[in-house]
Amino acid sequence: MRIVLGVAGGIAAYKAAVLLRLLKESGHSVRVVPTRAALEFVGRPTWEALSGEPATPDVFDDVTGVAHVALGSEADLVVVAPATADLLARAAAGIADDLLTTTLLVARCPVLVAPAMHTQMWEHPATVANVATLRARGVHVLEPASGRLTGSDSGPGRLPEPDEIAAAAFALLDPPARDLAGRRVVVSAGGTREPLDPVRFLGNRSSGRQGIALARAARDRGASVTLVAANVTLPVGAGVVVVPVETAEELRDAVRTAGKDADAVVMAAAVADFRPATTAGVKIKKQPGGSLPALELVETVDILAELVTDRLRAGQVVVGFAAETGDDSRSVLEHGRAKALRKGADLLVVNAVGRDLGFGTPDNDVVLLDAAGDEVARAAGSKDEVAHAVWDVVLPLLAPASRA
């Protein structure tokens, strides 16, 4: 596919170099069209070296090729990342004063825009109106991420991460079937934290990446999605309702509340198995003489087993995750099969975890088991690919749409 990557003049332009590599590594041809301001942040030689094609902001650099018309006409997708407030304003007004804005006027292919600017710029009524205008014309405008901005300020306005923009681009090039349209799903993600004192907790290494991928995949396939996010800092993106939680008990309550009307509940979060029996009101100090404080643990609620036993609605599909490590007695898959039999979930997604394995990594390798512990599918690749593979297996288990 032929992609035009427009880059506007913001500090986040350096992230577009990573996006360019992701697009190229997926086998697509990419032509970078920077604005003049963008070249103040990342130079032309960088774009040309990474893309293997010319990178100019000027319509007069290729007059004989009529580049200002040809680029947009021949493109299968136009992506603008970052899109500054200025670029959004010019695009909304139909101004065509450089190669990028002329390309946007000519393009009849899908256009994906990833804004990045200061929070006050993003929330200004002019920008709000410009974004609404572009969306009304069919432009796909991503929501910016929230977090630390260029200076000391924080808030919405950060450029979404390159992998999120790339995933949105690939979805436009090869859109998934809207086979979950009209469905409501709940996905949990991240790792719970059980407080020991005001500054310490028992937790795990889960980043929430796989759960977020599951939520996005369901959204892209037409579902109404609620993500119960336990201590997740990664961007989720537009179109997903996010309910932040911290502890296992908070996650349980949020899932049960959101899941009352859900066709499927996917428990991808890494829920702590234990919590401290008591939580100290002040930071626990080291004791004179080196004596250690006693730590008594109690089991947390088994949310997955509870969901299976007490379905929140008739016909609801319950999917669990088993993050396992092998040991001398059983392999990862054997532990997963035993868990499938104990829990009774409609599906159990089993994967190996550990340092640099499963948690926090961009890829995953899973086996899907049914309630009897029998293998029904395998999936490996990016967590987005794994997410779609999971929904492919869930789909035929759902109650007929008329009952959804």
On whether residue 344 sits in a domain, the answer given is yes
Domain stops at, among 114, 138, 173: 173
- My answer on whether 47 and 114 are in the same domain is yes
CA distance from start to end of the chain: 37
When pLDDT is cut at 50, 70 and 90, the band that residue 167 belongs to is confident
* 204 in catalytic set: yes
Structural domain of 275: 184-403
Instruction: Tell me: pLDDT of 317 over 90.
Output: yes
pLDDT at res. 360? 62
The pLDDT assigned to 403 comes to 39
Rounded to an integer, the average pLDDT of 317-341 is 88
Within a domain: 214:
yes
What is the average pLDDT across 280-303? 87
Percent of the chain exceeding pLDDT 90 equals: 71
Please say whether the beta carbons of 87 and 80 come within 8 A: yes
- The residue whose two tokens read 């991808």 is 268
Q: Is the pLDDT of residue 88 over 90?
A: yes
**The pLDDT of residue 404:** 38
- Which DSSP string do the residues of 77-110 spell out, in sequence order? EEEEEEE-HHHHHHHHHT---SHHHHHHHH--S-
| 404/54: higher pLDDT | 54
Residue 103 and residue 65 share a domain: yes
Q: Quote the CA–CA distance of 15 and 252 in Å, as a whole number.
A: 37
d(CA 189, CA 179): 23
Q: CA 301, CA 258: separation in Å to the nearest integer?
A: 18
Cα-based distances in Å from 10 to 35, 84, 89, 93, 166 = 10, 6, 15, 20, 19
Same domain, yes or no: 90 and 197? no
Is the confidence at residue 357, as pLDDT, over 70? no
CA torsion sign for 200, 201, 205, 206 is negative
Does the pLDDT of residue 362 top 90, yes or no? no
Could you give the number of structural domains in the chain?
Answer: 2
Domain boundary among 150, 173, 196: 173
Residue 81 pLDDT > 60: yes
Per-residue confidence (pLDDT) for residue 290, from 0 to 100: 76
Q: Are residues 140 and 201 in the same domain?
A: no
Does residue 215 carry a pLDDT above 90?
A: yes
Residues 153 and 228 in one domain: no
pTM over 0.85: no
**109-123, 157-171, 284-298, 339-353 — which is least confidently predicted?**
284-298
CA separation for the pair 252, 250 (Å, rounded): 5
DSSP 3-state of 16: helix
Contact 377, 351 (CB under 8 A): no
Q: Which of 204, 231, 351, 364 is catalytic?
A: 204
Written as six digits, the tokens of 262 are: 């859900």
**212 closest CA partner among 191, 193, 237:** 237
pLDDT above 80 for 401:
no
Give yes or no for residue 147 having a pLDDT over 50: yes
Is residue 126 one of the residues assigned to a domain?
yes
Mean pLDDT, rounded, for 253-257 = 97
Considering the domain boundaries, does residue 178 fall inside one?
Answer: no
Please tell me whether residues 124 and 195 are part of one structural domain: no
Does a structural domain hold residue 7? yes
Does residue 127 form part of some domain?
Answer: yes
For the chain, give the longest Cα–Cα distance: 83
Q: Which of 208-222, 232-246, 364-378 has the lowest mean pLDDT?
A: 232-246
Q: What pLDDT is attached to residue 325?
A: 76
Q: List Cβ neighbours of 55 (8 Å cut-off, separation of 6 or more).
A: 31, 32, 33, 34, 44, 47, 48
The answer to whether residues 156 and 7 belong to one domain is yes
Instruction: Tell me the average pLDDT of the chain.
Output: 91
Residue 325 lies in a domain: yes
- State the pLDDT at residue 154: 81
Residue 309 is predicted with a pLDDT of 92
Query: Could you tell me if 230 and 292 lie in one domain?
Result: yes
The pLDDT of residue 358 is: 54
Look at residues 153, 173, 193 and tell me which one is the last residue of a structural domain: 173
Q: Is 283 exposed, middle or buried (0-12, 13-18, 19+ CB in 10 A)?
A: exposed
Q: Are residues 46 and 189 in the same domain?
A: no
Query: Is residue 261 predicted with pLDDT exceeding 90?
Result: yes
- The band of 70, judged by pLDDT with boundaries at 50, 70 and 90, is confident
CATH of the domain at 345: 3.40.50.10300
Q: What is the rounded (10 degree) CA torsion for 219, 227, 351, 393?
A: -40
Q: What is the pLDDT of residues 7-42, one digit of tens each?
A: 999 999 999 999 999 999 999 999 999 999 999 999
Determine phi and psi for 35, rounding to 5 degrees.
Answer: -80, 170
Tokens of 132: 């609404």
Backbone CA torsion sign across 392, 398, 400, 404 = negative
CATH number at residue 139: 3.40.50.1950
Same domain, 189 and 168: no
- Is residue 154 domain-shared with residue 219, that is, in the same domain? no
**330 — pLDDT class (breaks 50, 70, 90):** confident
Is 304 found in the same domain as 207?
A: yes
Give a yes or no: residue 362 inside a domain: yes
Distance CA 3, CA 109 (A): 10
Q: Say what the pLDDT of residue 46 is.
A: 97
